[in-house]
Structure 1
Amino acid sequence: MSKVDTFRALHHHRAPEDPLVLPGPWDAASARVFAEAGFPALATPSAGVTASLGYEDGRVPADEMFAAVTRIVRAVDLPVSADVEGGYGLAPKELVERLLETGAVGCNLEDSEDGVLKDPRAHADRLAEVRAAAGDRLFVNARVDTFSCGVADPERTIERAALYVAAGADCVYPIEAPPEVLPLLRAGIQGPINVGALTDEGPSPAELGARGATRITFGPGLQRRAARALREIAAGLRRR
């Protein structure tokens, strides 16, 4: 079985209390840590990778992001999905080619830009083009940014998700969805649902799974938590 087939299979036939937990490596070293811990697959966070490269979130050049993903993929023998934000303005065919060159088996694509939601039908058309170019070679996780853009009505999220699934998305990611609305989203959305979790508070992955999450990611939370730990170590060294 190929890595992409393995990755796709990990999203199906899961018990509610056993969602797929995907840590987010920001470089090769962190990827190896997560692999050694026994996770079956990884999903890079764009903000975490961007921070590791010294850029503000959303400001990393495409070439540097793809190079970083390549290093992460090369460091581990696991399926790795890549968060490529909005696709860096690349045409769908070029975006797919660049992703496949990194060795990634999947991608996140977001449906907002600078805090403004994109037209959902136009974005669905773009997702359909990505799917047509990728065939079965990539697992497409369509981010739905309604909650992060201040649209609190879950029905708007469900409507967008339906368009994206119809366009060929393998999974949808209603980022910043409150845990209490997950059962409603689960009832209204076909297919796997990605839910973001905090690393040190809030519902556990198992609790989020019981509410409807298929898979759990952490955005830049793990990179930021590691940075906090490093600051504490650095401060201790200064005091010695």
Structure 2
Amino acid sequence: MTFARFEALHHGEEPLLLPCAWDHASAAALARAGFAAIGTTSLGVAAAAGKPDAVRATREETVALARSIAGLGVPVSVDVEDGFHRSPGEVADLVAELAGLGIAGINLEDGRGAGLAGVEAQARLIGVVKRRVPEVFLNARTDAFWLGLPGAPALAAARVRAYADAGADGVFVPGANTERDIETLVAGAGVPVNVLVQREIPLRRLAELGVARISYGSLLFRAALHAAVTTARDIAAGEPVPDGVPSYEQVEALHRYGRGDLRSP
């Protein structure tokens, strides 16, 4: 049911907007705000734990967060970096564990340091995971643009097609930020295409280009850090406390989300 609900959100009249959380409070607040689904940000999870991103350092924190937010009443997609393991079987075990918690989807990336995993090896990994856990929406990410690799448009187009053929339910191409590149990806992918929120192209135009899902990535975590430091500096400079900040009681009540009580605090 959760998988079907999440999958359907990728085929609506408008793109799925997926804000990404890094802890229970941020996820609960986003669910309370009315978003149809919630993602997680690996950067936010790693930075909040004092660890580096994308080096398989946060498997424990990622699973703990998934367990905490799986019951929010909306589908949740978890960023699992490259799967946190070398073995496809171990990656599939992780995804099965997440599915058992009630997670609807995952992001699985092909970035490996400054380069990419072999396309055939990544396609095999996707196939192993989907055969083991068919009821999780596998969003296959390619980092061809993200890493600034030569020939990124053609490289990304070939990879998203290969990943779709291997069984991916959707493809994610962070760094694709021109209309021409996005049109090419949408035309050739064969499955829903996901891009990041971006300055270059407004949401309405991304919808016109056929984008199915627009992720916030680490933006909200970075914005929260900016707001925290800015607020601290402004108050130190004699400025008043800003309007709109949630009260202590509102934030404290967020712990009820995902624990059997979905009422608004």
TM-score by length of 1: 0.90
- Number of the residue aligned with 2:174: 175
By how many angstroms is 1:22 displaced? 0.6
Name the residue aligned to 2:81.
Answer: 85
Aligned to 2:106: 107
Verify: 1:148 aligned to 2:146, yes or no: yes
Q: Distance in 1 between matches of 2:8 and 2:129?
A: 20
Aligned positions of 1:11-50 closer than 5 A: 11-12=10-11, 14-15=12-13, 18-50=14-46
Distance 2:83 2:130 in 1: 14
Task: Give 1:175 deviation, angstroms.
Answer: 1.5
Within 1, Cα distance between the matches of 2:110 and 2:123? 9
Question: Helix, strand or coil for the counterpart of 1:147?
Answer: coil
**Among candidates 200, 208, 211, match of residue 206 of structure 2:** 208
Runs of 4 or more consecutive aligned structure 1 residues displaced over 6 Å after TM superposition: none
Residue of 51, 56, 61 corresponding to 1:55: 51
CA contact 1:19–1:206 (8 Å) conserved in 2: no
Structure 1 residue runs of 5 or longer lacking an equivalent are none
Partner of 2:130: 131
Count of aligned pairs between the two proteins: 232
Indicate if the aligned counterparts of 1:179 and 1:208 stay in contact, CA closer than 8 A: no
Moved more, 46-55 or 226-235: 46-55
Question: Deviation of residue 128 (structure 1)?
Answer: 0.2
Matched, 1:71 2:64: no
Alpha carbons 2:108, 2:141 under 8 Å: kept:
yes
Q: Secondary structure at the match of 2:195?
A: strand
1:182–1:211: 8 Å Cα contact kept in structure 2?
yes
Task: Give the deviation of 1:61 after TM superposition.
Answer: 2.9
Paired position in structure 2 for 1:237: 235
Letter in 1 for 2:46: T
Per-residue displacement from partner, 1:99-136 (whole Å, max 9, x unpaired)? 2244211100001211211110111001000001002x
Scaled by the length of structure 2, the TM-score of the pair is 0.82
| Aligned twin of 2:222 | 224
Q: Give 1 or 2 for the bigger CA radius of gyration.
A: 2
Shift in Å, 1:36: 1.7
Which structure 2 residue ranges, 5 or more long, are not aligned?
239-265
Distance 1:68 1:237 in 2: 32
Q: Cα offset for 1:152?
A: 3.5
In structure 2, do the counterparts of structure 1 residues 70 and 87 end up closer, same or farther at CA, with 3 Å as the change threshold?
same
Tell me the CA shift for residue 233 of structure 1: 1.3
- Once the two structures are TM-superposed, the CA of residue 67 in structure 1 deviates from its matched residue by 0.6
Q: Which residue of 2 aligns with 1:4?
A: 3
Deviation at 1:19, TM superposition (A): 0.9
Task: Please tell me whether the aligned partners of residues 2 and 102 of structure 2 are also in contact (alpha carbons under 8 angstroms).
Answer: no
* Whole-angstrom distance in 2 between the partners of 1:179 and 1:32: 33
Separation (CA, whole Å) in 1 of partners of 2:125 and 2:152: 24
CA contact (8 A) 1:22 1:215 kept: yes
Q: Deviations over 1:50-78 (max 9, x none)?
A: 1222222224331122112222224x111
Q: Output one character per residue of 1:186-236: Cα deviation in whole Å (capped at 9) or x when no partner.
A: 1121110001113xx332222212223110001101110011011111123
**SS of residue matched to 1:148:** coil
Partner letter of residue 187 of structure 1? A
1:54 match: secondary structure: coil
Instruction: Give the aligned partner of residue 190 of structure 1.
Output: 190
Residue identity over aligned pairs, in percent, reads 35
Q: Secondary structure at the match of 1:177?
A: coil
SS at match of 2:223: helix
